[in-house]
Structure 1
Amino acid sequence: MIIRSIDTSGVIGVGSVDPVGYSKDDIFELYLPEELFAQYQGPVVLEYESYGASSAECIYKTINQHHYGRECDDQWSRQWYEQREVLESSIFQSGRNIIYFSCMAGYRENLMIRNVRIRLNSATLEKGSVFKRNELVEVDLGKFIDEAKVIEQIKEKVKVIALGIHQVPVINSYIINVTEGAYAYRFIGNTQGLKVKIPVDRRKVTDHDAELRFFYFDMEYRTWKAAEIQVDGNGNEFIEPNPGAEYFAGLIKAPEMPEAEVFTPNIFKDMKSADPSTGIQLISPPEISQTGEASVNYSFQIPSGRNGMQPSLLLHYSSDGGSGWVGQ
């Protein structure tokens, strides 16, 4: 049986097609009927088409917060490839399943993904090894909470996972990630009432005029949002994390503005005044010949054309001519 994603296609990462890096179309949702999947014991095959990446192992993907993919010697190419990955059924669940894709560092262009689907009919599976999940790195709570008493109370209830750049949805290019120790952190467990601070790498904060914010990923809206920052009685900033959400510290890039200069009255002293007669060819007065007729010559300045071709046009008038416009 085949279950298809409700999302038809997506542009992954940052590149010429999506220079900002919007995360909305990096995510694919699939819904598994409970009556069908609850009793299913076999492996699950993830199938999709990728544009730019020929190897499925070189495409980072996160399935219900389980991470797959690695850096490899795959070259980005302008064609579509059929991908097929055998995965453990334990990473899937009845109802809503979330898959988001990410580009490896070797790709300087967007990837495109389409026709995402999973196959449950194990009788038709080809022989092959099951793709292995990437191991998660758990972080000491002391990195986020100063009070040892609080850590002791919640260490069995809350876990913090350090995440790499390919384990979270793409961050918009106008935000600079300044998180210390990891690209982002995920809080798992009962986080109700928990107050934490996201560590900031001050070495990355080079623009002191930029605004420092903490962001979390809102899966419902498929975008990064600014977390609400609270301040305690000692002036320390903290956030209250949502369970299962990813957080990072970031700087919002300010748009480039023209620099202001001090005005001085003599700033234009060396500037020459404009001459309105520049480029105007004046007509000379008629000249009288020895035989008594008056004549005038006037040449036209024609811009040069292709290959430097420039015609030479001259208007000649003589009072001894006929009664035409120019004495003809």
Structure 2
Amino acid sequence: MPYRRLTRFVTAPDGTRVAYHTHVGHAPEGEMEPALASRPAVLLTNGIGTSENFWRYIVADLEQDHRVVHWDYRGHGRSHLSINGDYALRIHVDDLERVTEEVMARGDGRPPHHVGFSMGVRVVLELYRRRPELIPAMTLIAGSPASPDPSAWFIPFPGGRGTLALAFRTLTPLVPQVAPLVHEVLASRLAYPLGRATGLLRARAPRADILELLLALRQMDPQAFWMMMRGLLEGPPCWDVLPQVRVPTQLIAAKNDLLVPLREMERMRALLPDAEWVLVEDAGHAGLVEAGTEISEAVRAFRQSRGVGPAYPAHTS
């Protein structure tokens, strides 16, 4: 999906430039930011390796009357590789903090509603731990306060998270040698059918969207991707943040998600009894594109019901 957007960068203390994109919709050229500054802001935080087209339904809906921004992790999209080679979870929280402050400064000064998907759920929760005043509301989609549990995968990984983290550390030196083979698989005609056969992709997963994701993964620096996975696995979980949450929160779970099993989301629900719960049927981890309309409508309805956003797009005559 082609976006009209304005891309800017924030610079981290180590010099790494991190990109964020303001979706400008039909705002006139030369007046994009002034035209959007007074609108309520929504900031989208992606999953590791996920291409931006996963947000296309939410963007298409909310950009009509909101200021919608998404940003790129280091090594993703327009963001640069981490200059110091650090891809630990705390680094992404640092970057989200700076992006949030920049979004506020270029808008009406108010913090945005944060929407996190997959790993983005953990990044948003860690920012809430650090700076709760930057998060007035949050929507957490198909993500968990902990790294994925490999013992619950389609093919269970023995030893759970600890063994998987050790495997990632041990295999790190082999990444440059293995990456070309992985790229060949991602570029082959087998990639999409394999995803369907393993259950990672549901029948509703649009082939075009998944192919765009695979292209983004092929273009990503393999060392950056690997080190982000290591950072995700080695970082401590943040279940302890949930009882501290005092802002409107929405949980959106996919019933058939194999990467973040439903029980993980249900555990979050138990620790957030006041959160709005949305269960998407016949959707997996790619639910943002498998059930995009349903999820985007749920996000808008949540904002309206909690008094933090308009109910319907504002149309001008």
TM-score range, shorter chain: under 0.3
Q: Which structure shows the bigger proportion of residues in helix conformation?
A: 2
Q: Which structure shows the bigger proportion of residues in strand conformation?
A: 1
Q: Compute the TM-score of the two structures, normalised by the length of structure 1.
A: 0.24
Q: Compute the TM-score of the two structures, normalised by the length of structure 2.
A: 0.25
Higher Rg: 1
Q: Determine which structure has greater relative contact order: mean sequence separation of CA pairs < 8 Å that are 6+ residues apart, divided by chain length.
A: 2
